[in-house]
């Protein structure tokens, strides 16, 4: 019992900090609203077109700005007050959601408008994502960074579980328009939490003055450090091909199992439940370890293949739980490794590059996923993406072993490098 209490205390230790506590609960509300809108938007596109390619396009447009301009978002995060930047980006997101809701209410919303809103939200994300990621350490300090990264993943994944379930009920009862209004209102929670913070209690880093070559400096910084380079390459491959379930789950619900929005909501909610478990597991660890990064990637690939082979909806729901846990354990571990191995002056650009290879890879991976779903079928797409994930993890494992062998040869008294490196 005492050990369990110690683990629980370590898992939620960052919530003792007032500023982060405000942020945590504000983000739970806001991200839940985001997932409500995301599900409603994807379901609306599917009803309009019946096309996996159309789903891939709307997803790709939302993340295309991150691919093209994401590193500039990191420069902004390093140069300016992160709390104030987040107030602006969250306000912009609220305005876009409200405009989308009004157009839907007046029954003038078309497919090209949905595409346009997805692209506009993508430009907001360019600045918001690296700023939000690098703001974590300013709320709790470096000593609790690994814990706060895990809890931030819990925020996202809890919303991923609650949002689709809520959206499924709302769409069935009231249609998609109410989902857009709920998302617009949910931004009030996070904007209010940022406003209510005590700025004097933040662990602020000095803003980086404007100078030439800051983008190149960010790239060189990541590439020169093996622990950052290995994590970013693994995330780039797996992020491109294995995190496109916004496309695959609605298609699986409708075409494989003959379901409706409720079926889609159930699939997304079960995957979300697994991601909450995985995120809490990462939050309970003191430091991220390379073996967890590679091991979770391997498990994720195996479970994707198993989910693709599920013969019934009941088996599919059961498999999505551990699959979600493995996927978020991989992402949270990679995120924490990137932040803990970065200096304050570079963290914004490092996290921008992380966002570029993860979120920015979506415009590449989403159309491919949509095309594969229409070409080889939903199950075949699961098999291919799972196999690519396993292959990437095995290459990373071989690379890690080679690094340990080289380190042991270079300094035999010290032995192999630490797994936490």
Exposure string of 49-86, with b = 16+ CB inside 10 Å and e = fewer, is eeebebbbbbbbbbbbbbbebbbbbbbbbbbbebbebb
* Residue ranges covered by each domain of the chain: 2-195+221-410
Q: What is the number of helices (H) and of strands (E) in the chain?
A: 16, 0
**Looking at residue 213, what is its pLDDT?**
66
Q: Specify the residue for token string 């914004």.
A: 348
Fill in the DSSP letter of residue 345: T
Average per-residue pLDDT for the chain: 81
Q: Specify the residue for token string 């496109």.
A: 244
Q: Which position has the higher pLDDT, 349 or 214? A: 349
Intra-chain end-to-end CA distance of the chain, in Å: 32
Q: Does residue 272 register a pLDDT over 90? A: no
Alpha helices in 141-244 (DSSP H): 145-174, 177-196, 214-223, 226-242
Confidence of residue 6 (pLDDT cuts 50, 70, 90): very low
User: What's the mean pLDDT in 53-76?
Assistant: 81
Name the phi and psi angles at 289, rounded to 5: -125, 145
User: What's the mean pLDDT in 72-79?
Assistant: 82
pTM: 0.69
Distances (CA, A) of 91 to 163, 188, 392: 20, 8, 38
**Looking at residue 215, what is its pLDDT?**
67
**Cα–Cα distance, 5 to 143 (Å, whole number):** 20
- pLDDT cut 90: percent of the chain above it: 24
Q: Does residue 2 register a pLDDT over 90? A: no
Distances (CA, A) of 212 to 72, 132, 134, 208, 345: 13, 24, 22, 12, 15
CATH 3.40.50.720 fits 2-195+221-410, yes or no: no
* 202 and 339 Cβ atoms separated by less than 8 Å: no
**Cα–Cα distance, 256 to 70 (Å, whole number):** 36
In tens, the pLDDT along 348-362 reads 778 777 877 776 666
């Amino acid at each position: 019992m005492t050990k369990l209490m110690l683990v629980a205390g370590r898992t939620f230790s960052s919530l003792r900090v007032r500023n982060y506590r405000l942020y945590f609960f504000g983000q739970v509300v806001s991200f839940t609203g985001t997932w409500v809108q995301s599900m409603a938007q994807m379901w609306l596109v599917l009803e309009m077109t019946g096309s996996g390619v159309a789903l891939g396009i709307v997803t790709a447009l939302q993340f295309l700005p991150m691919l093209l301009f994401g590193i500039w978002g990191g420069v902004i995060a390093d140069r300016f007050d992160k709390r104030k930047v987040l107030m602006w980006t969250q306000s912009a997101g609220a305005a876009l959601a409200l405009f989308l809701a009004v157009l839907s209410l007046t029954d003038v919303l078309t497919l090209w408008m949905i595409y346009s809103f997805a692209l506009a939200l993508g430009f907001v994300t360019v600045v918001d994502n690296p700023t939000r990621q690098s703001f974590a350490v300013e709320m709790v300090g470096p000593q609790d960074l690994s814990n706060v990264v895990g809890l931030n993943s819990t925020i996202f994944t809890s919303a991923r579980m609650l949002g689709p379930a809520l959206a499924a009920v709302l769409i069935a009862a009231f249609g998609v328009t109410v989902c857009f209004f709920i998302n617009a209102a949910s931004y009030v929670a996070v904007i209010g939490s940022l406003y209510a913070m005590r700025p004097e209690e933040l662990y602020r880093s000095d803003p980086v003055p404007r100078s030439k070559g800051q983008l190149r400096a960010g790239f060189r910084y990541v590439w020169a450090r093996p622990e950052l380079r290995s994590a970013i390459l693994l995330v780039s491959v797996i992020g491109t091909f294995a995190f496109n379930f916004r496309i695959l789950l609605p298609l699986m619900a409708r075409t494989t199992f003959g379901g409706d929005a409720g079926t889609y909501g159930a699939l997304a909610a079960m995957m979300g439940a697994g991601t909450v478990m995985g995120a809490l597991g990462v939050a309970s660890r003191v430091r991220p370890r390379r073996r967890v990064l590679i091991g979770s990637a391997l498990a994720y690939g195996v479970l994707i293949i198993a989910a693709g082979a599920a013969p019934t909806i009941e088996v599919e729901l059961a498999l999505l739980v551990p699959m979600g846990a493995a996927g978020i354990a991989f992402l949270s571990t990679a995120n924490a490794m990137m932040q803990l191995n970065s200096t304050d002056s570079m963290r914004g650009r490092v996290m921008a590059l992380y966002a570029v290879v993860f979120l920015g890879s979506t415009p590449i991976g989403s159309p491919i996923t949509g095309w594969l779903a229409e070409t080889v079928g939903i199950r075949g797409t699961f098999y291919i993406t799972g196999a690519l994930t396993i292959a990437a993890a095995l290459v990373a494992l071989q690379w890690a072993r080679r690094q340990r062998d080289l380190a042991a040869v270079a300094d035999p008294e010290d032995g192999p490098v630490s797994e936490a490196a």
